């Protein structure tokens, strides 16, 4: 293809580009750096260049997971990090960025505990354009301690201090939502969830609840759920079971989607309690099989696990709650149930 370009055989060049794109997509992805760099260096390879640009824009995860990821240029890495279509846990992005930085400097030790001051300076200089783009505030406290703290010396002093404050602040406050008499009861359950969440996570940032969905206001259908909640991350759902004192719920740190596939996360959890009993009697169930943490089934409402907490039915009157993907059952009964009300809040960090 390059030879044809040099001999100005544009018809052959066009044919070869189309052949690669239509028949060898996986090969292009696996050799993305070579293909993209080649397309940039040859003005006649515009079709291939446009295809590579589309990959960066529309399928960034494929490039992150390619075998030669570490050979991509820095400007492409930056484009990937900033991509709005990057449906990847933020800590995985950080791990990829770290690996890329380490691979640019093969003389560095693999274990940060063995780094010298010069080693940290080298890695810091390599990643100085990428670090400000990482959304560290989406990390869990454990992810921060395990994956960021060992490399703290490559962060700027101000960033590191801000992160320490973020992951060490135990004060919490919620934003009051306008109440009607019929919804006061379930909204008060959000405050109960805050107590559960505070007890279940060791290090927390201050946050507020923003109400984005209410069944009695927006409807009890899968369509309205997906229309409003798709692409929304860091959401907590509070569910009042019909003709029961049961309150169920769950936290999803990643975005809700539609399309029938499961999404992976280590940080989701589901919970339950009896509204007439002490908060100390709550049940908290953490994800056990992270690959099936949440389900984006188009025909269901919000779904945690394979059947651990799934809203389904014409008006969410055929819901199920049966332990499979999480570590504890949150109901004593495996019978189907209906909803009386449910609300979805988005959690927003408050930085100080």
Question: Under DSSP, is residue 320 helix (H, G, I), strand (E, B) or coil?
Answer: strand
Same domain as 239, residue 119: no
Per DSSP, the residues of 96-109 read: HHHHHHHHT-TTS-
In a domain, 173, yes or no: no
pLDDT value at position 201? 42
- As for how many domains the chain has, the answer is 2
In a domain, 152, yes or no: yes
- Closest residue by Cα to residue 293 from 285, 307, 302, 304: 304
In order of 110, 119, 120, 132, 283, the CA distances from 113 in angstroms are: 9, 11, 11, 23, 38
In a domain, 172, yes or no: no
Same domain as 144, residue 84: yes
Same domain as 160, residue 21: yes
In a domain, 245, yes or no: yes
In a domain, 249, yes or no: yes
Same domain as 226, residue 291: yes
In a domain, 75, yes or no: yes
pLDDT value at position 178? 42
Structural domain of 142: 2-166
In a domain, 95, yes or no: yes
pLDDT value at position 56? 65
Same domain as 207, residue 119: no
> And the tokens for 3?
């030879």
Same domain as 222, residue 341: yes
Q: Which of 112, 134, 166 is the last residue of a domain?
A: 166
Same domain as 211, residue 135: no
Task: Give all strands (DSSP E) within 137-282, no chain letters.
Answer: 207-214, 235-241, 246-252, 262-263, 269-274
Same domain as 149, residue 258: no
**Tokens 């279509």, residue?**
85
Query: How many other CB atoms are there within 10 angstroms of residue 33's CB atom?
Result: 18
List per-residue pLDDT tens for the chain, 352 residues long.
888 877 778 888 788 888 887 877 777 777 776 777 677 677 778 887 777 777 766 666 777 777 778 888 888 788 788 876 666 788 989 999 999 999 999 999 888 888 999 999 999 999 999 999 998 888 888 888 889 999 999 998 888 888 888 877 544 233 333 444 434 445 455 555 555 554 444 444 456 788 999 998 888 888 899 999 999 999 999 999 999 999 999 999 999 998 778 899 988 999 998 878 776 788 999 999 898 999 988 888 999 999 999 998 888 888 999 999 999 999 988 889 999 999 999 987 654 3
Q: What is the DSSP letter of 178?
A: P
Same domain as 130, residue 278: no
pLDDT value at position 248? 95
Is residue 304 within 8 A of residue 297, CB to CB? The reply is no
Beta bridge partners of 339: 241
> And the tokens for 237?
């759902």
pLDDT value at position 14? 84
């Amino acid at each position: 293809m390059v030879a044809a370009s040099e001999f100005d055989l544009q018809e052959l060049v066009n044919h070869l580009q189309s052949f690669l794109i239509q028949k060898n997509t996986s090969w292009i992805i696996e050799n993305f750096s070579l293909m993209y760099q080649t397309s940039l260096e040859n003005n006649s390879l515009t079709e291939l260049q446009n295809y590579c640009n589309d990959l960066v824009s529309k399928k960034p995860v494929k490039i992150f997971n390619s075998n030669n990821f570490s050979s991509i240029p820095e400007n492409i890495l930056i484009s990937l990090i900033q991509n709005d279509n990057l449906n990847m846990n933020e800590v995985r992005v950080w791990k990829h960025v770290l690996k890329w930085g380490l691979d640019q400097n093969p003389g560095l030790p693999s274990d940060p505990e063995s780094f010298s001051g010069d080693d940290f300076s080298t890695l810091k200089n390599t990643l100085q354009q990428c670090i400000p783009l990482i959304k560290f505030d989406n990390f869990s406290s454990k992810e921060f301690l395990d994956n960021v703290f060992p490399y703290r010396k490559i962060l700027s002093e101000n960033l590191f201090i801000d992160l320490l404050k973020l992951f060490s602040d135990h004060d919490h406050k919620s934003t009051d939502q306008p109440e009607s008499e019929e919804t006061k009861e379930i909204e008060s359950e959000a405050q109960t969830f805050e107590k559960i969440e505070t007890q279940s996570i060791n290090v927390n940032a201050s946050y507020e609840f923003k109400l984005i969905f209410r069944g009695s206001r927006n409807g009890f259908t899968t369509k309205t759920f997906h229309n409003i909640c798709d692409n929304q991350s860091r959401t907590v759902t509070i569910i009042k079971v019909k003709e029961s004192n049961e309150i169920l719920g769950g936290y999803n740190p990643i975005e809700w989607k539609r399309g029938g596939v499961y999404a992976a996360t280590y940080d989701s959890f589901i919970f339950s309690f009896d509204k007439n009993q002490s908060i100390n009697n709550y049940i908290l169930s953490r994800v056990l099989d992270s690959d099936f943490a949440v389900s984006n089934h188009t025909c269901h409402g919000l779904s945690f696990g394979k059947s651990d907490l799934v809203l389904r039915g014409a008006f969410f009157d055929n819901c199920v709650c049966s332990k499979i993907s999480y570590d504890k059952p949150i109901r004593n009964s495996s019978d189907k149930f209906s909803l009386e009300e449910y609300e979805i809040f988005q959690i927003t960090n408050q930085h100080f």
